[in-house]
Structure 1
């Protein structure tokens, strides 16, 4: 900035020439400078006041507008905001193959208390103990009068209980919206459903998460908002599942069994139509996990998937099928069944004496251990292992249950020639009923491996070929003759040509060394209709005893087979299978040709 001098030389000289005082010029310049400074200061102050006034005006406009909006809105209680990520409350439904509800959601409420807001804690504790008998009045009173500012009282309450609590009139008792998982069919398919619990919880919402079964396996899918709450469709058929469980429960009681399992599977698509395990539980009130020592006796234990058993003679058809596929034998090939068959210090015997020779077909029909073991010797350990690996007996199944992931068949520690012989008739290798069902599906569908699934499929699986179609056809005929002529005679169902194989295996001791003398695992693996199989049904009973005769009978032919036959008779019409009944001979009518 250029400053004007207070005593400019030119004006001083002119003033002296005119006889004027130079000091007057300086005073005049000082006065003008002060006036200029005052004017600039005033302009600056006026600008600041204008800006401040504009700010105050804007603030008053915003506050006035907000007050007007609040005055015009409906009164509402302030909502507490949850900490962290938003809780996902909505969970998709689960339905069966026909769209019928297996699991859905029910709106309910949680009850919580804020003691600082309570007016009469004593009355509140007394009334709550009356409404909820499982609550302790003294403990509630201690919580209400202590230092706690918040506490949950009930995570789920009914509408009637909510109204009763509301009638107490205590402002410190509050309700939070909840979404409860509901299984309207109760225990039905409980081991498939699994169950849920509350995960992250807030005052206004709680996340429902799966703890077992398909609920846990598909947890992210069921909670994913991108799915638009579309229901998860399973392969189960609700009516078939109900019929299977009812007959299985009756058979388990009739045969005095400790437990039971059943798997019904489509041989082409791999769909599991029903899967039952007894004893079972209600997923609406899922029990606690049992001690590790009694896990196998818990109703939470899924015997069809987690139970790994020696399944006995049901394995014999695999040995016969491999022998036929390798060209080692045909159904009419004579097999040496003279016994006992000795290997070192061990002996292999048959249930009864079948003579010195049987055809391969008769070895399966009569269920000869010796004949099957001799066929296995011809196959050899390496080829036998490859075949069972192709059938899926070396790995866990990929069924969509969290329980299935870690269940791997128990294989011989050293696959010797003796192991080859014992595995051929179902001893020395332990597998689940689900593994067995998948293996029989491969035998029944023409020789292609199928993978069990709980999801509905619209087309058959095109799995790798394990055996030829000719071998599959021969094996199916053998299984049919087991029912019509062999050990599964009680398995014949009029109108539905049932084929299958029995298996009775001694139950191992709890120590793992040796076997019980009077406890068995009885299994019947069946296919129907045998001429064009659509389904495989595996029924397993744990420690069955049939007591209608003079002596107790434990073999599968007397225990598991009748139960499976009754199941097939009930479910075949539900599956849409029409009975194929041959007409009987009409009395006193002779057919003659023209």
Structure 2
């Protein structure tokens, strides 16, 4: 055995040798990593760091009414919540705390929080965005250490001005995709904007590794839209529709108010309706149907306005000429007035006032099929020889065209079309046509967009300046307005009249065709009124229609239901637009 000193030196030498070998191994390993394995390890490190591409959502454009101050649809800050089930210690307790705050049933939350996933979004159906108050409440529970594994992220939510203008605006679904209305029509072009992106390296815990983002592209906000809609008029129109539907329950109803001088839509409403604020859960095919642009039906007597304008424009209408009312035969078809026995021998002026079908069959006969069809096309309805009509081009999705014959119509079909039977058109097509009568003979495309602005109304980008096309002479339009004024003052539209405002227009009562075959459904009508005021210098055109209305008194006609509804709309609209009253009559109606 060696001395203690010798043994100590040997141990020190051994330890030193081991340390030297370890250091040599480390140096060798470092050299190996930096040379032989450098590329492979760098790839592995980059995989661990992860490239993060985070989308920065663009602010969606705000939608205003024509004043530019009343917001109809806009963005507000909101939050959505996700859970990391691995971090949650007590699933039942967490679900119990979250349920009343998020308005999600406990059993649903328990199911979600028990999933074996890194992240679970806390949503049911379309409900997943919450206001800041909810975020603050959850944050408070987290600060008190009562919640673990729950995270809130900022986003935006679309808000609407109550349940008004549902069909005009449309809505955003739970995936932030537009459904219907202006939201859909102008989504890509103006409202959507362009999302931004930020790209950076991050560790698995989410911490940014690099000094700054590798790529940063800021979002481009969507453009703000100013519509032609007047919110005060819109509110009144919807109130009137709802009131009349209470006393005359109907399958559906619609009302349109337009400025005839440029085609601007001042109000548009349809019933039934949905609430854009909760549309994801309440929207259906039925209440999402915009009757104003999507319904196609026989117009009935309101279409007589086109026949009348054509005959006057062709110098074929003599108001004092007489005819025998009651019935008329065209080929093998006998056409009757709505009062079957007629009114005996009357003038064509009286025929217009009394809405005589026979009078308008005679007028179509004077025109001849070719000229009559030319005027139907000129007024924007399309070619009668085509299968379908022509869209107005209004800036709303899903507009229908109307339905015609897909061939040259027979003489009897021309005769029926003269008083609005046998063809189908849309309410907005009729509004477009009557606006041309009201403004002196120029047809404009109906439209809802007035202006486009850079976000926050910073800069005007585009203003809609519609160009019209003359389709009838000014004097023709004036004579038609005079006769339509008489139809309200003395004829079937008397319930639409307003003292001092000289309303002109035409009622319509159209029987609904049987979808299962020829003929018409018994006691199933669409009743309507279309007119304007003041008659001699029109400021607005109003259209109102009810689909299958009921009446406690058994009378379901355009004159008894649609005309008074139009009157109530016009009274307020003309006041809102500060149209002065006049005591004297602008026309000689006798």
- What's the TM-score once normalised by structure 2's chain length? 0.77
In structure 2, list runs of 5 or more residues that go unmatched: 1-30, 35-48, 195-218, 383-389, 452-462, 586-590
CA 1:562/1:80 → structure 2, altered by over 3 Å: closer, same or farther? Answer: farther
Give the structure 2 partner of residue 591 of structure 1: none
Given candidates 343, 346, 349, the residue that maps to 1:358 is: 346
| 2:183 maps to which of 179, 193, 215 | 215
Is 2:334 the counterpart of 1:347? yes
Structure 2 distance, partners of 1:280, 1:402, is 16
Out of 280, 283, 302, the position equivalent to 2:276 is 283
1:582 CA drift (Å): 5.3
1:107 equivalent in alignment to 2:77: yes
Paired residue for 1:255?
248
Cα distance, 1:345 vs. partner? 3.9
Q: What displacement does 1:128 show?
A: 2.0
Per the alignment, residue 522 of structure 1 pairs with 527
Aligned with 1:122 (options 87, 92, 110) = 92
Q: How far apart are 1:120 and its partner, in Å? A: 3.0
Q: Which residue of 1 aligns with 2:132?
A: 159
Residue of structure 2 in register with 1:302 after alignment: 290
Residues paired across the two proteins, number: 485
Q: Paired residue for 2:564?
A: 562
State how 1:544-559 maps to structure 2 within 5 Å. 544-548=549-553, 552-559=554-561
Q: Deviations over 1:493-534 (max 9, x none)?
A: 122110000110012224253212212100100111100112
Q: Any idea what the Cα deviations from partners look like across 1:282-332, whole Å, max 9, x if unmatched? A: 1011156888xxx4xx11111111111111001112111101111222333
Task: Give the 3 Å change call, closer, same or farther, for CA 118–82 of structure 1 in structure 2.
Answer: farther
CA separation in 2, counterparts of 1:463 and 1:141? 62
Q: What displacement does 1:459 show?
A: 8.5
> Normalised by the size of structure 1, how large is the TM-score?
0.77
State how far apart, in whole Å, the 2-side matches of 1:581 and 1:227 are: 55
Judged with a 3 Å threshold, the aligned counterparts in structure 2 of structure 1 residues 468 and 350 are, in CA distance, closer, same or farther, namely same
Name the residue aligned to 2:149: 172
The whole-number CA distance in structure 2 between the counterparts of 1:460 and 1:109 is 40
CA apart distance, 1:360: 2.5
Which residue of the partner structure matches residue 356 of structure 2? 368
Q: Which position in structure 1 is the counterpart of 2:428? A: 434
2:84 is the alignment partner of 1:91: no
**Which residue of 134, 150, 153 corresponds with 2:119?**
150
Q: 1:395-414 to 2 correspondence within 5 Å?
A: 395-404=390-399, 407-414=400-407
Are residue 490 (structure 1) and residue 495 (structure 2) matched?
Answer: yes
> What residue is the counterpart of 1:391 in the other structure?
379
1:204 maps to: none
- Per-residue Cα deviation, 1:165-207 (whole angstroms, up to 9, x for no partner): 3344323100011100000x211111101101244xxxxxxxx
**Residues of 2 paired with 1:163 and 1:562: CA distance?**
52
Aligned equivalent of 1:131, options 93, 96, 101: 101
Q: Give the 3-state SS of the residue equivalent to 1:482 in structure 2.
A: helix
Of residues 254-263 and 223-232 in structure 1, the stretch that sits farther from structure 2 once superposed is: 223-232
Distance 1:111 1:80 in 2: 23
Aligned to 1:233: 226
Compared with structure 1, are the counterparts of its residues 332 and 181 closer, same or farther at alpha carbon in structure 2 (3 Å cutoff)?
same
Structure 1 residue matching 2:292: 3-state secondary structure: coil
CA contact (8 A) 1:128 1:135 kept: no
Assess if the C-alpha contact under 8 Å between 1:235 and 1:456 holds in 2. yes
Q: Could you tell me which residue of structure 2 aligns to residue 29 of structure 1? A: none
- Structure-2 change in CA distance of 1:459 and 1:472 (3 Å): farther
2:177 equivalent to 1:194: no
| 5+ residue gaps, structure 1 | 1-51, 56-77, 200-207, 584-594
Closer/same/farther in 2, CA of residues 580 and 460 from structure 1, 3 Å limit? farther
CA distance in 2: counterparts of 1:569 and 1:366, whole angstroms: 24
CA contact (8 A) 1:528 1:536 kept: yes
Q: Check conservation: 1:213, 1:403, Cα contact below 8 A.
A: no
- Specify the SS of the correspondent of 2:471: coil
Offset of 1:164 from its aligned partner? 3.3
**1:106, CA displacement in angstroms?**
1.0
Aligned partners of 1:97 and 1:237 also within 8 Å: yes
Q: Is the 8 A contact 1:546 1:558 kept in 2?
A: no
Q: Tell me the secondary structure at the aligned position of residue 409 of structure 1.
A: coil
What is the match of residue 516 of structure 2? 511
How far apart are the structure 1 equivalents of 2:501 and 2:349?
22
| CA distance, structure 2, for counterparts of residue 209 and residue 79 of structure 1 | 30
In 2: Cα distance, 1:485 partner to 1:361 partner: 11
Cα-Cα RMSD: 2.5
SS at match of 2:442: coil
For the 8 Å contact 1:281–1:287, the answer to whether it is kept is: no
Partners in 1 of 2:357 and 2:50 — Cα distance? 73
Larger radius of gyration: 1
C-alpha contact 1:392 1:435 (8 A) present in aligned 2: yes
Q: Secondary structure at the match of 1:242?
A: helix
Residues 295, 426 of structure 2: 8 Å contact kept: yes
| Mapped contact 2:251–2:547 kept (Cα < 8 A) | yes
